[in-house]
């Protein structure tokens, strides 16, 4: 099985693929345009406070996939961590996602779970039978007051548009609980790598069959030098934006250092439209097993993504899906190129899904190589609807 593989991007998708191929005896060259590995989950120590910073914003690992949880623990110790998000609304602080404490605090009530269910149903707009937009879904789901307090302003800041223009599917991912559970995720396994994500990814890439080239861009014509290329960059960039640029939101971070403890919690959402940032993350709280006298916070701002910016969130409105389908069609005509990960398939992916898809793709690719068949064009089947 003598093949020369190129992987573009040293994030989780690329690193896991590289490791699986290297262990199978293939030579792998990983190209990374930035000066570090681990992509947007890159972590590094703040030189002034010693706090481990999530350089591109908070990344909390959570999964229901046991095989993914077991896989990452080969490369670092996963420390227990529960993300307990708070929300600032007006002059008060509430728990997120909306739970029984949120409901009782917001309405100054003492409802039990069944009473809360009946109350929320009574304030929801049941006349909306089939919600098509984010706003319609929210009005039916939690009613006007909770929607305007927790979702409307935050969503406008996050996505740069009215919730009436966003699909209902975005809100369907957010739970509402009728107990006092304030764990932001419902995943079976949750934690943080003891030494940070960059250390973890470095361990994944630490193999004699892997060569990593940092601060090195990979251009489309260079694919001819390799038997196969796995590309985790933006799919539209691969084709030099020939069909137009896909729409993303990007993030800006305002770093501040403070004495002591700034907000007493890792993540605080700011729902009021009058406050320009969407949330504040306090990074020492992502590693509660460490002790730091002082602290580092990120104020997070969302805006439209330009071609020189780091793409974070694909927007995927109707126009974007049409454009994406066109890119998928031309991608399927590429020879010996596979598009992988968040940017290569223009989807929002949690870290565990990126790892799971990379493991599956590696297995399928190795089988295809052994059977002299074509390697899949995508790390997951493209959705054309």
Q: Is 279 annotated as catalytic?
A: yes
Angle between helices 100-107 and 113-123 (to 10 degrees): 60
Q: Is 300 annotated as catalytic?
A: yes
End-to-end Cα distance, the chain: 37
Q: How many other CB atoms are found less than 10 A from the CB of residue 318?
A: 9
- Residue (of 289, 283, 219) closest to 255 by Cα position: 283
Catalytic-labelled residue, pool 19, 140, 177, 347 = 177
- Residue (of 311, 241, 252, 308) closest to 276 by Cα position: 252
Q: Is 182 annotated as catalytic?
A: no
Catalytic-labelled residue, pool 115, 334, 350, 364 = 350
Query: Which residues, other chains included, contact 167 with Cβ-Cβ below 8 Å and sequence gap of 6+?
Result: 132, 133, 134, 316, 317
> In the numeric block, which tokens belong to residue 364?
């399928």
At residue 253, φ and ψ (nearest 5 deg) are -125, 130
> In the numeric block, which tokens belong to residue 320?
């974007």
Q: Is 173 annotated as catalytic?
A: yes
Catalytic-labelled residue, pool 279, 316, 342, 347 = 279
Q: DSSP per residue over 257-286, as a string?
A: EEES-SSSSSEEEE--TTSS-SEEEEGGGG
* Eight-class DSSP state of 139: H
- Residue (of 95, 205, 214, 211) closest to 146 by Cα position: 95
For 50, left (φ over 0), alpha (ψ -120 to 50), or beta? Answer: left
Q: What is d(CA 34, CA 54) in angstroms, rounded to the nearest whole number?
A: 16
Q: What is d(CA 330, CA 238) in angstroms, rounded to the nearest whole number?
A: 11
Q: Is 348 annotated as catalytic?
A: yes
Catalytic-labelled residue, pool 19, 249, 342, 347 = 249
Catalytic-labelled residue, pool 136, 300, 352, 357 = 300
Q: Is 94 annotated as catalytic?
A: no
Catalytic-labelled residue, pool 48, 173, 308, 371 = 173
Q: What is d(CA 130, CA 165) in angstroms, rounded to the nearest whole number?
A: 16
Which ranges constitute the DSSP H helices of the chain?
Answer: 12-23, 66-72, 100-107, 113-123, 134-146, 153-159, 169-172, 197-205, 235-238, 318-331, 341-344, 351-370
Q: Is 211 exposed, middle or buried (0-12, 13-18, 19+ CB in 10 A)?
A: middle
Residues noted as catalytic:
173, 177, 249, 279, 300, 348, 350
């Amino acid at each position: 099985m003598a093949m020369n593989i190129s992987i573009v991007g040293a994030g989780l998708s690329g690193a896991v693929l590289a490791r699986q191929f290297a262990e199978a005896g293939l030579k792998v060259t990983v190209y990374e345009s930035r000066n570090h590995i681990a992509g947007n989950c890159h972590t590094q120590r703040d030189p002034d406070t010693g706090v481990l910073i999530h350089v591109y914003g908070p990344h909390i690992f959570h999964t229901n996939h046991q095989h993914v949880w077991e896989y990452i623990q080969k490369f670092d110790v996963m420390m227990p961590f529960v993300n307990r998000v708070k929300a600032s609304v007006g002059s008060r602080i509430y728990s997120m996602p909306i739970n029984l404490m949120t409901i009782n605090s917001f309405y100054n009530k003492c409802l039990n779970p069944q009473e809360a269910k009946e109350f929320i149903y009574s304030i929801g707009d049941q006349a909306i039978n089939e919600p098509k937009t984010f706003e319609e879904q929210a009005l039916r789901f939690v009613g006007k007051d909770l929607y305007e307090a927790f979702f409307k302003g935050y969503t406008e800041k996050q996505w740069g548009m009215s919730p009436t223009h966003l699909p209902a599917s975005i809100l369907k991912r957010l739970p509402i609980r009728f107990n006092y559970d304030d764990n932001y995720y419902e995943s079976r396994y949750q934690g943080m790598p003891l030494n940070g994500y960059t250390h973890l990814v470095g361990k994944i890439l630490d193999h004699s069959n892997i060569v990593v080239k940092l601060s090195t861009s990979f251009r489309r014509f260079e694919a001819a030098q390799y038997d196969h290329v796995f590309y985790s960059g933006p799919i539209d960039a691969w084709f030099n934006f020939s069909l137009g640029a896909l729409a993303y939101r990007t993030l800006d971070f305002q770093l501040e250092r403070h004495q002591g403890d700034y907000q007493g919690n890792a993540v605080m959402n700011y729902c009021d439209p009058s406050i320009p940032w969407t949330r504040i993350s306090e990074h020492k709280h992502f590693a509660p097993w460490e002790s730091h006298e002082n602290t580092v916070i990120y104020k997070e701002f969302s805006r439209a993504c330009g071609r020189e910016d780091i793409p974070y969130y694909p927007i995927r409105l109707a126009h974007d899906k049409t454009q994406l389908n066109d890119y998928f069609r031309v991608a399927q005509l590429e020879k010996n190129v596979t598009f992988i990960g968040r940017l290569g398939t223009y989807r929002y992916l949690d870290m565990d899904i990126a790892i799971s898809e990379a493991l599956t793709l590696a297995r399928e690719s190795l089988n295809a190589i052994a059977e002299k068949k074509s390697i899949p064009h995508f790390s997951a089947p493209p959705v054309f609807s």
